[in-house]
Chains A and B, each alone.
Chain A
Amino acid sequence: MTTPTSVLVVGASAGGLSVAEALRREGFTGSLTLLGAERHLPYDRPPLSKKVLGGAWKPEQTQLRPESALAKLEAEFVLGDPAVRLDVGAREVTTASGRGLRADVIVLATGLEPRRLPGQEAWAGVHVLRTVDETLALRADLLAGPRVVVAGDGVLGTEIAATARGMGLTVTVVGPQSAPLASQIGSQVGGYLAKLHVDQGVELRLGIGVAELVGAAGRVSGVRLANGEVLPADVVVVAIGSRPATGWLAGSGLVLGDGIVCDSRCQAAAGIYAVGDVAFWHHEGFGAGMRLENRTNAVEQAMVVAANILGKDRPYTPVPYFWTDQFDAKIQVHGFLPADAEVAIVEGDPALRQFVALYGSRGKVTGLVGWNMVKQTRQHRQHVVEGTAWSEVVAAARVAST
Chain B
Amino acid sequence: MRVIVDEDKCCGAGQCVLLAPKVFDQRDDGIVILLDESPAKELYTVVREAATVCPAAAIRLEEDE
Contact = CB atoms under 8 A, between A and B. Distances in A.
Contacts of B56: 44, 46-47
Interface in A75-99: none
A60 to B, nearest CB: 13
Interface in B13-49: 13-15, 17-18, 26, 28-30, 48-49
B52 A296 contact: no
Contact of B57 (A65, A321, A330): A65
A332 interface: yes
Given A296-B13, A323-B13, A374-B12, A330 B29 contact: yes
B28 A375 contact: yes
Contacts of A377: 14
B52 A374 contact: no
Main SS class of interface, B? loop
A190 to B, nearest CB: 21
Contacts of B11: 46, 323, 325
Nearest to A294: B55
Contacts of B29: 330, 372, 374
A325 B13 CA distance: 11
Which interface class (under 10, 10 to 19, 20 to 34, 35 or more) fits B?
Answer: 20 to 34
Which interface class (under 10, 10 to 19, 20 to 34, 35 or more) fits A?
Answer: 20 to 34
Given A330-B30, A374-B29, A375-B28, A300 B53 contact: yes
Contacts of A332: 12-14
Most chain A CB within 10 A, of B18, B28, B30, B48, is at B30
A64 to B, nearest CB: 5
Contacts of B15: 296, 321
B55 A303 contact: no
Nearest to A22: B52
Contact of B48 (A25, A64, A378, A381): A25
The 10 closest A-B pairs by CB, nearest first: A374-B30, A295-B55, A378-B14, A296-B55, A64-B57, A374-B12, A299-B53, A374-B26, A330-B30, A330-B12
Given A375-B26, A375-B28, 13 more contacts: A22-B52, A44-B56, A46-B11, A46-B55, A61-B9, A303-B52, A321-B15, A323-B13, A330-B29, A332-B12, A374-B12, A374-B14, A374-B26
